[in-house]
Chains A and B, each alone.
Chain A
Amino acid sequence: MNVRSITLFALTAAMFSAAQVSAGPLKIVTTTSDLKSITESIAADRATVFAICEGTRDAHYLQARPSFIMMARDADLWIRVGMELEIGWEPMIIDGARNPDIRVGGPRHLDASEKVLKLEVPTQRITRALGDVHPSGNPHYWLDPLNGRIVAETIAERLIRIDAAGAETYRANLAAFQKALDERMFGAEAVQRFGGSTLWARQLQGTLDGLLAENDATEMLGGWVARMRPFKGRRLVTYHKNWSYFMNRFGLEVAIELEPKPGIPPSPAHLARIVDLMREQNINTILMAPIYPPRAANRVSAQVRARVLVRAHSVGGLRAASDYLSLIDEVVNGLAETL
């Protein structure tokens, strides 16, 4: 094959893939149900959205099943969480799908982690002796509502690029989603007064209370922030390292995980250590997602009289977590009642 025929071949391929873009609603495939929920908020009826990993599943361990390949084959846009969360199955699905545009780096492949704020990015050389540690950081970033807000924007930007006709709809839907999220976060009154963006900027900087006090508006604060405020600095135990982003956003601390290392199931010795630690530090709550077996948490809680709070960490993990905002709602309310 000489250079000319390769070019010709590439051009033909490009033409065919351009021709594949069909009229009617876009078909968007997201790797997780959380991304699906956010995407649906932005795309509304301009797209049908399918999620590969349902909320009741562990996105670390899925298989490249033929039915997933079918979804990817017809996808106009593929959105992933990124940060190596889907490393065990995404390449096989995309390889099997024969859809060149959704390959990594393609115009219809979107990594939702592009702009999010990341936590636990290793600063030293990691080894697998540390368990399932991801080289680019903890991938459970959607549990920080600010990252949900950022992801919505990333998705909207890409939708505008691939479907310019819907640009107005996407912009309007993004604004509506962000407004709804801001109001859940800070309360409608505070958002009305200061604007969501300012509140977020202040929250990020740690000067939110100052802003409210200066303006005599402390009472105005509502939403998740107000609900979680009394528990700032409280420590709790979780099963997997999947709540870091949530805890970081609301000023809570995870004392220890039931898993001795990410991806390694609890051992009796480790559980004994946790019992001691919980007694020592007066920790009364174990938070875990329903995808993990409850036995270890129950065993520990029986010994220290702690409460086990089971909350979905992905949309659809439990029935009440039916969309992205109610997912966060459920965790906030559960913790506020338990802590």
Chain B
Amino acid sequence: MVSTYQDFIIIVAAVLIGSTSALAGDDPLQAMLNQIREQDQPVGVAAPSSGLAGAIQSLNPDISVVIDSMVHGDDARGGIGSILEGVDGFGPVRDPGGFDKGFNLREAELFISSTVDPYFRAYTSIVVTEDEAILEEAVVQTTGLPYGLQLKGGKFLSEFSRSNSQHPHDWDFVDRPLVSGLIFGDGGLVEKGVQLSWLAPTPFHLLLGTEVLQGENEDMFQPLGREDSDDALRDHAGPRLWLQWAKFSPPLWGSHEAQFGLFHGYGRHQDEWDDGINDGWLDGHSRFLGTDFVYKYDAPHAYGKGDVIVQGEYMYREKDLNLRASESSPALVGNSRLDQQDGLYLQGTYGFAPRWRAGLRWDHVGLTNRSRLPDRTTQRFGETHRLSAMVNFSPTEFSRLRLQVNRGEYLVDGDREEVYQVFFQALFTLGAHGAHKF
């Protein structure tokens, strides 16, 4: 039945020989193709199919889950967390992170994204650990603003630096660079707020952004809202944190690409002062600023062989706080405390074989490291550094196994603590194929 119909088409078509008018539906090939598309079944030797036969059409959002687990060992007495917590000049870090000795299930990250309607796109990332589920990101962004503008709102990882905007499973090493971990804590700077960014109409890539955030980072921008008997340390209304950043990519040739960034953040911060002798409540401002860069070479080999990534960041922070109340030393009330610290990291990875990568990272914090206390004494601290080496194997885009060794020399209470860490990490992605950010 079908083939008689096809023959008929061919006969009709044969009559029309010569009329090979482009874009017209009346030529034999077009008739044939239309027929295949309508019937969507094999014809002749070919077994072609067309249209939406294979595409699964649904309005479900893209969903993926990344499972991030590892075996970790270190030779620090109280575990690596207890070291990171008290690094001189930075401590006490409220969210130092760290890993248990033995098996760790860092997280399962559930990532859901979709276009909302013709004007918005949204995504959310829910981090599930053994004990809790945290709404890490919940973001709506515009898709149709003119002039290269984009507005983004919700709760999100601040995009001021490359390392801060990446989720842990996208990092080239298991753990967060020391400088950002010691300044913002292990979770990085993730806040509620809005972001406006502008892709400038320049011949090179220039992206300028500003973020207005609630300011709830325990180490840099937290409201304490502490009511004291003598003096009130009142909560400042949000938003309490303002950020500006710029990212610039020079035009490079071929498969080379680089991006340089500058960033600055300024906000309100309240803190407590408790050094065992003195105690009190501090209120003031915190600021951070810095620069980062990434260079990538995409080698013309399959499976990532020959690819190079070099990346680095420098960040300086300043906490300028005023002593508002103190029971033990009321005479000092009104004096200020100034914390000035900085740090950097530099890392590189190289695809030494198909699917294999090796990398080195150098962390160095406390090049500037001093605190001027309300009692007008100044404490100067030394430097802390760490060297990390890693090798990873990615069987496919969806799985990755990584071995990493860290050797850190941490300054804790003036003592240099040498700590070795070893990780064997396994990362697996289920579900939707995510797009990779540069």
The chain A residues found within 8 Å of chain B, CB to CB, are 6, 9-10, 12-13, 16-17, 20, 56-58, 61-67, 69-70, 73, 84, 87-92, 95-98, 100, 103, 115-119, 121-123, 128, 131-132, 135-137, 150, 153, 156-157, 160, 171, 174-175, 178-179, 194-198, 200-202, 204-207, 248-249, 251, 263-265, 291-293
Contact = CB atoms under 8 A, between A and B. Distances in A.
A200 B396 contact: no
Contacts of A9: 119
A249 B14 CA distance: 22
Interface string B1-40: 0000010011001100111111100011111110011000
B171 interface: no
A198 B13 contact: yes
B150 interface: yes
30 contacts: A10-B118, A17-B146, A56-B300, A61-B304, A63-B257, A64-B435, A64-B436, A64-B437, A66-B438, A87-B433, A92-B435, A92-B436, A95-B143, A100-B146, A153-B22, A160-B23, A178-B20, A195-B19, A196-B29, A197-B20, A197-B27, A197-B30, A198-B17, A201-B29, A204-B44, A205-B10, A207-B10, A263-B397, A291-B300, A293-B354
A95 B56 CA distance: 23
B273 interface: no
Q: Which 8 A-B pairs have the closest CB atoms?
A: A121-B54, A117-B48, A16-B146, A206-B44, A66-B249, A66-B205, A201-B28, A197-B27
A137 B302 CA distance: 22
Interface string B113-155: 0000011010000000000000000000001111111100000
B49 A137 contact: yes
B23 A63 contact: no
A201 B438 CA distance: 45
B36 to A, nearest CB: 7
A291 B434 CA distance: 23
Contacts of B436: 63-64, 88-89, 92
A201 B13 contact: yes
Given A13-B146, A207-B44, 6 more contacts: A88-B433, A117-B36, A128-B398, A175-B21, A197-B27, A204-B29
A73 B437 contact: no
B252 A195 contact: no
Contacts of B149: 98
Given A136-B55, A205-B10, A73 B433 contact: no
A200 B29 CA distance: 6
A253 to B, nearest CB: 11
> Interface size class for chain B?
35 or more
A9 B27 CA distance: 46
B148 A73 contact: yes
Considering residues A56, A121, A174, A179, which has the most beta carbons from chain B within 10 angstroms of its beta carbon? A121
A95 to B, nearest CB: 8
A88 B397 contact: yes
Nearest to A194: B17
B152 to A, nearest CB: 11
Contacts of B143: 95, 100, 103
Nearest to B62: A91
A128 B64 CA distance: 13
Contacts of A291: 300, 302
Contact of B257 (A65, A87, A88, A135): A65
Contact of A265 (B33, B44, B49, B354): B354
